[in-house]
């Protein structure tokens, strides 16, 4: 496939998927009914959720400075905060363009070489991925009985064992194949995995590694709290079990990668997760849209202000 066509598809497919999922979501619940949920929502809980979201973004900006300091770059906190918010906003237009924009902003205003800035963002993603895997693991352990019971109810236990055994065997042979293979895609996978390991280990070489680890855990704690407290905004979701919150949060987090900023995919991922707990579709979908809309509004306001104020802030600092 030609590089130009590949670039177009990378931009067009998430946009088209987002448009389709918005249409699908709004075909399952009328605009009038969705608006009524927004009107009946308790905005004090939504505001608290937005506040926790804001704290997570500020913590991410503060944490970024720990990665750049060992390279000899002590960037201004203001630039770091605005670069993070601008990146989130730009990700709503072109997927993953925000990371490039974030590194470019620091290159432009702090003279950090682009490749070093981008490399620090990649390493940051590694740390986030590790915490996300930790949340998934903890959820599986805490809800083992529920997950096992659900699978047994829906599927034949013997088939589950056979499928899982086959899956483990396939993974084992796939890993062996990748290790020994000299094919292009195998080398890419090995390079990617080695990069993940190197990025994870680099955290422990920082001078302020414990502060970095604290902020990483704090960021994700705020994400979970943001999701959890917002569930109290609707009467129908205020009594859902914490297990539903965790599984809904995990599903929603992965959905963000599917479309630009999770548009369309975010509420539908929550619906699928909540259906496991027999939570009705309409309030689940409404909650998903409230969650997505409140956090998106935060990004639009602060991201927009950041893009406008960045040159002004740095002009004042130079003077």
Least confident of 123-132, 190-199, 256-265, 283-292: 190-199
Residue 12 covered by a domain: no
Residue 8 covered by a domain: no
Q: φ, ψ for residue 110 (rounded to 5)?
A: -125, 0
DSSP state of 264: T
| Alpha carbons 99 and 86: distance in angstroms, whole number | 10
CA 27 to chain centre: 26
pTM: 0.84
CA distances from 237 to 93, 171, 252 (A): 31, 38, 16
Task: Give 187-210 pLDDT, tens digit per residue.
Answer: 877 776 766 566 566 666 777 888
Residue 208 covered by a domain: yes
Residue 222 covered by a domain: yes
Spatial CA neighbour of 247 closest among 272, 275, 222, 273: 273
Range of the domain at 174: 36-314
Burial 165-183, CB ≥16 within 10 A → b, else e: eeeeeeeeeeeeebeeeee
Average pLDDT over residues 46-55: 97
Q: pLDDT class for 268, splitting at 50, 70, 90?
A: very high
pLDDT for 215 equals: 94
What distance separates the 2 farthest-apart alpha carbons in the chain? 72
Asked if pLDDT for residue 45 goes beyond 70, the answer is yes
Residue 235 covered by a domain: yes
Q: Which residue has the higher pLDDT, 277 or 5?
A: 277
Q: pLDDT class for 186, splitting at 50, 70, 90?
A: confident
- Residue located via tokens 């004090």: 44
pLDDT for 293 equals: 96
Query: CA angle at residue 247 from 285 to 244, to 5 degrees?
Result: 70
Q: pLDDT class for 140, splitting at 50, 70, 90?
A: confident
- Number of structural domains (the chain) is 1
Residue 44 covered by a domain: yes
| Cβ neighbours around 19 below 10 Å, total | 13
pLDDT for 292 equals: 96
Average pLDDT over residues 15-34: 89
Asked if pLDDT for residue 106 goes beyond 80, the answer is yes
Exposure on the CB side of residue 101, measured as CA atoms within 13 A: 21
pLDDT above 70 covers a percentage of the chain that reads: 88
Contact between 81 and 307 under an 8 Å Cβ cutoff? The reply is: no
Residue 18 covered by a domain: no
Residue 24 covered by a domain: no
Q: Helices 114-142 and 43-68 meet at what angle, rounded to 10?
A: 130
End-to-end CA distance of the chain: 50
Q: pLDDT class for 14, splitting at 50, 70, 90?
A: confident
Spatial CA neighbour of 117 closest among 182, 181, 77, 73: 73
Q: What is the 3-state secondary structure of 2-25?
A: CHHHHHHHHHHHHHHHHHHHHHHH
- Residue located via tokens 């750049």: 68
Least confident of 22-36, 196-210, 248-262: 196-210
pLDDT for 67 equals: 84
């Amino acid at each position: 496939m030609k590089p130009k066509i590949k670039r177009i598809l990378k931009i067009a497919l998430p946009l088209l998927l987002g448009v389709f999922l918005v249409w699908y979501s709004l075909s399952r619940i009328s605009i009038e009914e969705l608006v009524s949920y927004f009107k009946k929502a308790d905005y004090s809980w939504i505001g608290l959720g937005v506040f926790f979201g804001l704290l997570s973004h500020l913590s991410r900006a503060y944490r970024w400075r720990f990665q750049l300091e060992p390279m000899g770059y002590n960037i201004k906190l203001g630039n770091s905060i605005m670069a993070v918010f601008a990146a989130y906003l730009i990700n709503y237009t072109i997927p993953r363009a925000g990371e490039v924009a974030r590194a470019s902003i620091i290159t432009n205003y702090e003279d950090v070489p682009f490749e070093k800035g981008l490399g620090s963002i990649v390493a940051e993603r590694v740390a986030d991925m590790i915490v996300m895997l930790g949340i998934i693991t903890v959820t599986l352990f805490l809800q083992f009985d529920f997950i096992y019971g659900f699978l047994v109810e829906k599927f034949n236990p013997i088939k589950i064992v056979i499928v899982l055994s086959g899956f483990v065997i396939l993974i084992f042979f796939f890993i062996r194949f990748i290790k020994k293979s000299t094919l292009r895609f195998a080398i890419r996978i090995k390079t990617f995995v080695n990069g993940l390991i190197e990025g994870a280990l680099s955290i422990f070489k920082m001078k302020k590694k414990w502060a970095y680890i604290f902020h990483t855990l704090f960021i994700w704690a705020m994400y979970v709290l943001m999701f959890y407290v917002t569930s109290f905004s609707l009467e129908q979701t205020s009594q859902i079990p914490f297990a539903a919150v965790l599984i809904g949060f995990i599903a929603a987090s992965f959905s963000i990668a599917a479309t630009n900023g999770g548009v369309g995919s975010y509420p539908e991922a929550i619906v699928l997760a909540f259906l496991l707990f027999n939570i009705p579709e309409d309030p689940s979908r409404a909650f998903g849209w409230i969650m997505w809309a409140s956090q998106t509004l935060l990004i639009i306001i602060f991201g927009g202000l950041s893009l406008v104020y960045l040159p002004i802030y740095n002009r004042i600092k130079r003077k």
